[in-house]
Structure 1
Amino acid sequence: MSKFSELVKQDKPVLVDFFATWCGPCKAMSPILKEVKDALGESVSILKIDVDKNQALASQLHVKGVPTLILYKSGKQVWRQSGVVQKSDLLQVIKRDI
């Protein structure tokens, strides 16, 4: 958890994707996240966290379903959404915090 805390304390926004390898909607998010990263480059960090391998962290953050996306800015959660989020919506949310 301490490593996670350090990662989300960056000055730039950090988008965390809680996913599972068996989850269809999670697989649909992967290319969307790649497009978001391509569009925003180094102005955002994107972390993918497998809930099956990180159950304690997922539980601590009350991640009940996958995919769950959480946006952090300077260590604080500024946005959260479960389910597939379209590229245009993600860009709008992230750009608000850049």
Structure 2
Amino acid sequence: MCRVLDNQMQRSAVLIPSNIAEGDGGINKDYLCFLYIARGSLRELKPSLLSEVSWFFIHLDHISESLYAIQNAVRLNQRHQKKQDNHSRET
């Protein structure tokens, strides 16, 4: 189970910047779609990390920095989505 969870977390972590980069420079609506996909990958990481804590007895202190980084990335992504959404409504 640990290997499956590790693979899932690695895929999510790789997909976040990949989706943002792929959508960047495109049409606003396309970019917005890629931002939503990236946000989904971000939100997928958090429960995976918490599962690692509960299933494998990893202390929460060991992943607290990662959880904090994920939370900040989600906030940044949401702000960027709102900005893109407002921009696409104006055009």
How high is the TM-score relative to the length of structure 2? 0.32
Greater RCO, CA 8 A, separation 6+:
1
More helix by share: 2
More strand by share: 1
How high is the TM-score relative to the length of structure 1? 0.31
